[in-house]
Amino acid sequence: MTEDDVVAAIREIVEPSSRTSVRLGIGDDAALWQPSRSHRSAISTDMLVEGVHFTRETMSLEDAGWRAVAANLSDLAAMGARPVLATVALGVPAQASFDDLMALYRGMAALARRAGLAIVGGDLTRAPTLTLAIAVVGEVRPSNVTTRGGGRPSDVLAVTGRLGAARAGLAVARGEATLDPPLARAALAALRRPEPRLAEGRFLAASRNVRAMMDCSDGLSTDLDRLCAASGCGARLEAVPAAPAARAVAQTRGEEPERFALAGGEDFELIVAVRARAFGYLAARFKALFGRELLRVGVLREGAGLFWGEEPLARSGWDHFSAG
Amino acid sequence: MTEDDVVAAIREIVEPSSRTSVRLGIGDDAALWQPSRSHRSAISTDMLVEGVHFTRETMSLEDAGWRAVAANLSDLAAMGARPVLATVALGVPAQASFDDLMALYRGMAALARRAGLAIVGGDLTRAPTLTLAIAVVGEVRPSNVTTRGGGRPSDVLAVTGRLGAARAGLAVARGEATLDPPLARAALAALRRPEPRLAEGRFLAASRNVRAMMDCSDGLSTDLDRLCAASGCGARLEAVPAAPAARAVAQTRGEEPERFALAGGEDFELIVAVRARAFGYLAARFKALFGRELLRVGVLREGAGLFWGEEPLARSGWDHFSAG
């Protein structure tokens, strides 16, 4: 039973309750509705559980708060939406202290403030493990809405940054890998203080040449497979741009850097499918605006399934549901 | 450390990130923002944890799903808002089956469909205990917005229904009380399939004579104390209308029915503060429309604190946070 199987079954149960103001329901990074004719709002939710998504050995509670907000904002980024507000439902074990809760909230507030996100409400309750469920609402211009489903064969697939840094950070935080200090710092920052690609997402969504977009939070192969399924295409992966820290950790383990980066989750980069003839121009504008490469990773093609060259590629990313 | 203390501290941490489109932040049943000039949207979130808010001995997973949606819808009802959509973040223990998840979703979808609420997205993740965090979004006409903070001395306090039925239901479900079959059924229904007062909330919010409103989910004394604090008033409680099942359970235990009902949570009735001279007319219209009494429970008064006659009354409701 994979996460996607369960989601498909849930979709069947809840589908009949869909309303006309809902423009996009279950299955994308965020759902969309229409509060008034000229506006689209986007909503998304993510749950972070201590022991599943983070441990205090690998990050502070401030980091965990930041990361929970980052995961949610990344879903808004993937819709090209501007963050507006968030609610926070917090399950708190009896042994958690007041200072623990304040640390969590300081981490959440730090990223929220930077992103222009207001934390407007929530719920506090007892739970056996520290559990954060955040819901974020954003706004997107109707003409900019970019889902997972608009990709077409021959579109170029690209990502907004190198992958695997968060996975490398986890290895460093657990003491499973030792890197040079600057690389170690970069890896730990990618794990603990990821930066959702909000400005990049808004820029890409505004381009008519970007036909599909999603965030890369469960690993490139898993997420690309979802983009392909939604777009009714297959894909050929040509390159996996591994972050320097991912490359370094992979090398110390004798693994291929590409495979290490492919399976890493929580990178919070965006994946886009771009009309082929516009890719060069778009990538140049992206570089000029953000000082970062829009990295080509492959192409969409007719048919179904993910290929590495001509070899079928299994999903190797993080399935929150079948894992554990 | 009470829930309200923690909420106050959280408020200080997150306050600086407030944005102009946010009209009402932390501290009411729902937060409000303005997606466009003519619209107000309301958002609220509630977390339900197995073993804390429900056990499988006292209700089925379908009931738990229904109840989680009811708790969220009740917050929208308290703002006079019409439900639009919900997201569901679900933490699932390894031992939960596919059928367990479908049962939960069937319960959620059943109430969502009746209330016109679309379940548009969510998150599935591993967790040590079954944990549901729902966020709901609704819409409310700007002129109808009714918060906890508008009550004034001499306003009549009233509730939309008799209290304590859910608490009686819990006693029945646990086998701690035996009632006549019709009373037992009513008590179990109040526990397992509570009906949020959505239509009643919209009607009351539309009246200019209703100056403050909130839902009664943590027990009348706790929630009334919050309404008083937000309105800058005190209150004198004059009557606690106990549900027949609450009365019956209290009597078998030799407790006062009023005290039993006062301390019961999860009734999901609405509490309103009504301009005194309009109360009779409003209650008559309420009765005509909904076939149910708008029950007077007391009055707001100058000063602070909650009194039963002239005796100070301690909160006896459910504090999710200090409990457990």
Cα dihedral A131→A31→A306→A322 (10° resolution): 30
Instruction: Tell me whether residues A45 and B123 touch, CB distance under 8 A.
Output: yes
CB nearest A320 (choices: B6, B7, B125): B125
Q: Which residue of B has its CA nearest to A127?
A: B49
Q: A207 pLDDT exceeds 60?
A: yes
Phi, psi of A255 (to 5 degrees): -95, 160
More confident residue, B17 or B250: B250
List the strands of the sheet with A40-49, edge to edge. Answer: A22-24, A31-33, A40-49, A131-140, A82-92, A118-126
Those residues whose C-beta lies under 8 Å from the C-beta of residue B201, and which sit 6 or more positions away, are: B76, B77, B78, B79, B80, B81, B213, B270
**Sequence letter at residue B106:** R
Q: How confident is the model at residue A39 (pLDDT cuts 50, 70, 90)?
A: confident
pLDDT > 70 in chain B, percent: 94
CB-CB neighbors (< 8 A) of A41 in chain B: 35, 41, 137
User: What whole-number distance in Å separates Cα of residue B146 and Cα of residue B140?
Assistant: 10
- Which tokens go with A81? 């939406």
Q: What is the average pLDDT across B38-53? A: 90
**Average per-residue pLDDT for chain A:** 89
B3, B321 in Cβ contact below 8 A?
Answer: yes
Instruction: Tell me whether residues A22 and B85 touch, CB distance under 8 A.
Output: yes
Q: Which residue of B has its CA nearest to A34?
A: B35
More confident residue, A191 or B122: A191
Q: How confident is the model at residue B324 (pLDDT cuts 50, 70, 90)?
A: very low
In b/e form, how buried is each residue of B21-49, taking b as 16+ CB within 10 angstroms? ebbbbbbbbbbbbbbeeeebbbbbbbbbb
Q: A323 pLDDT exceeds 50?
A: no
Strands A31-33 and A82-92: unpaired
Q: Each residue of A261-274: pLDDT tens digit?
A: 988 878 899 999 99
Instruction: Tell me whether residues B118 and A7 touch, CB distance under 8 A.
Output: no
pLDDT (0 to 100) of residue A21: 73
pLDDT (0 to 100) of residue B236: 94
Q: B220 pLDDT exceeds 60?
A: yes
B211, B151 in Cβ contact below 8 A?
Answer: yes
Instruction: For each of the domains in chain A, give its residue range(s) and CATH number, in order of start.
Output: 15-143 (3.30.1330.10), 147-312 (3.90.650.10)
CA distances from A315 to A7, A160, A238, A262, A267 (A): 17, 20, 15, 9, 16
Has the ipTM of the complex gone over 0.90? no
Beta-carbon contacts below 8 Å between A and B: 270
- For tokens 């999603």, what's the residue? A214
Q: Which residue of B has its CA nearest to A102?
A: B10
Instruction: Tell me whether residues A13 and B120 touch, CB distance under 8 A.
Output: no
For residue A264, how many C-alpha atoms fall within 13 Å in the half-sphere facing its CB? 32
pLDDT (0 to 100) of residue B318: 54
Q: How many CB atoms lie within 10 A of CB A162?
A: 21
Count Cβ atoms within 10 A of the Cβ of residue B259 and give its class: 0-12 exposed, 13-18 middle, 19 or more buried.
middle
Q: Each residue of A91-138: pLDDT tens digit?
A: 999 999 999 999 999 999 999 999 999 888 888 899 999 999 999 999
pLDDT (0 to 100) of residue B22: 72
How many Å from the N-terminal Cα to the C-terminal Cα in chain B? 13
Instruction: Tell me whether residues A9 and B36 touch, CB distance under 8 A.
Output: no
A231, A152 in Cβ contact below 8 A?
Answer: yes
Residue of A22, A46, A125, A134 to mutate when probing chain B, most B C-beta within 10 A: A125
User: What whole-number distance in Å separates Cα of residue A120 and Cα of residue B137?
Assistant: 13
Q: How confident is the model at residue B59 (pLDDT cuts 50, 70, 90)?
A: very high
CB-CB neighbors (< 8 A) of B135 in chain A: 43, 45, 87, 89, 133, 135
State pTM to two decimals.
Answer: 0.89
Q: The dihedral of CA A137, A72, A111, A273: what is its sign? A: negative
CB nearest B120 (choices: A25, A87, A125): A25
Count Cβ atoms within 10 A of the Cβ of residue B292 and give its class: 0-12 exposed, 13-18 middle, 19 or more buried.
middle
A119, B77 in Cβ contact below 8 A?
Answer: no
- For tokens 């909330």, what's the residue? B201
Q: A55 pLDDT exceeds 80?
A: yes
Phi, psi of A298 (to 5 degrees): 170, -160
pLDDT (0 to 100) of residue B271: 96
pLDDT > 90 in chain B, percent: 68
CB-CB neighbors (< 8 A) of B22 in chain A: 84-85, 118, 120
Q: How far is B285 from chain A (nearest CA, A)?
A: 30
Q: What is the average pLDDT across B11-17? A: 70
User: What whole-number distance in Å separates Cα of residue B317 and Cα of residue B315?
Assistant: 6
CB-CB neighbors (< 8 A) of A136 in chain B: none
pLDDT (0 to 100) of residue B10: 80
CB nearest B120 (choices: A43, A46, A102): A43
User: What whole-number distance in Å separates Cα of residue B166 and Cα of residue A21?
Assistant: 34
pLDDT (0 to 100) of residue B317: 56
Q: How far is A55 from chain B (nearest CA, A)?
A: 13
B217, B289 in Cβ contact below 8 A?
Answer: no
A103, A60 in Cβ contact below 8 A?
Answer: yes
Q: What is the average pLDDT across B64-85? A: 94
CB nearest B113 (choices: A16, A53, A113): A16
- Which tokens go with A103? 């640390």
How many Å from the N-terminal Cα to the C-terminal Cα in chain A? 12
Q: B20 pLDDT exceeds 80?
A: no
Smallest CA-to-CA distance from B160 within B256, B281, B287, B248 is with: B287
**Average per-residue pLDDT for chain B:** 89
Q: Each residue of A142-166: pLDDT tens digit?
A: 889 899 999 999 999 999 999 999 9
CA distances from B293 to A149, B196, B206 (A): 51, 16, 18
CB nearest B125 (choices: A16, A47, A106): A47
Q: How many CB atoms lie within 10 A of CB A99?
A: 9
Instruction: Tell me whether residues A43 and B129 touch, CB distance under 8 A.
Output: no
For residue A279, how many C-alpha atoms fall within 13 Å in the half-sphere facing its CB? 19
Instruction: Tell me whether residues B118 and A19 touch, CB distance under 8 A.
Output: yes
Helix, strand, coil percent values for chain A (each to nearest 5): 40, 25, 35
pLDDT (0 to 100) of residue A19: 55
Q: Which of A15-19, A205-209, B281-285 is least confident?
A: A15-19
B257, B248 in Cβ contact below 8 A?
Answer: no
Phi, psi of B34 (to 5 degrees): -120, 90
Q: B140 pLDDT exceeds 60?
A: yes
pLDDT (0 to 100) of residue B319: 54
B206, B144 in Cβ contact below 8 A?
Answer: yes
pLDDT > 90 in chain A, percent: 68
Q: What is the average pLDDT across B198-210? A: 96
User: What whole-number distance in Å separates Cα of residue B201 and Cα of residue B213?
Assistant: 8
Instruction: Tell me whether residues A49 and B126 touch, CB distance under 8 A.
Output: yes
A184, A245 in Cβ contact below 8 A?
Answer: yes
